[in-house]
Amino acid sequence: MNRKLYTIERWFDGDTACEAEAKALIASAPACAAHVEALKFLRNGARELAQRESIEPAQFPAFMAGIRERLEPAPRHYRGVLAIASVVAASLIAAIAIFVMASPAPENISAEVEQVGTTIEGAEVGYYNTDNGTMTVWVDVPEGDLP
């Protein structure tokens, strides 16, 4: 039966080489005639569904805009992310500032110079402590050695 239906379908699609055999099958077998009717029904249904759409000149810019939207990547909007990042950064700066201002001042800090030196040839380095605890360090360079 499949070979018979295949022959009928070829004839239905326009193959004239098997026309005589297909017509004989349709005339002799009611199942083959029903198959031809089913093919006609399917072809008519497909024609009704296949409507050609046309684009009028006034619709063309909108049509091309739709194509461009799908081809080009959508622009990313970081406004919300940047706003949140700004608020977080400002809050962090404010928290650090409050922490530094609210923390107690350090106790008396003292430092002692253990050694002083320089790589300038002929220069002398010295230091001394003042009465209020301030340490002064100086570099003495012979005249004319530095510009």
- Which residues on adjacent β-strands are paired with residue 129? 135
| pLDDT tens figures, 19-62 | 888 889 889 989 889 999 999 998 888 887 777 777 888 888 98
Question: Which of 119, 116, 123 lies closest to 139 in space, CA to CA?
Answer: 123
Q: Is the model's pTM score more than 0.85?
A: no
Work out whether the CA dihedral 23, 29, 35, 38 comes out positive or negative.
positive
- Judged against a pLDDT cut of 70, whether residue 145 lies above it is answered with no
- Which residues on adjacent β-strands are paired with residue 139? 125
| pLDDT tens figures, 76-133 | 777 788 889 999 999 999 999 999 999 888 787 777 777 788 888 888 888 888 888 7
| Nearest-angstrom CA–CA distance, 79 and 85 | 10
- Ordered by start, the domain boundaries in the chain are 2-49, 113-142
> 125 with 118: CB under 8 angstroms?
yes
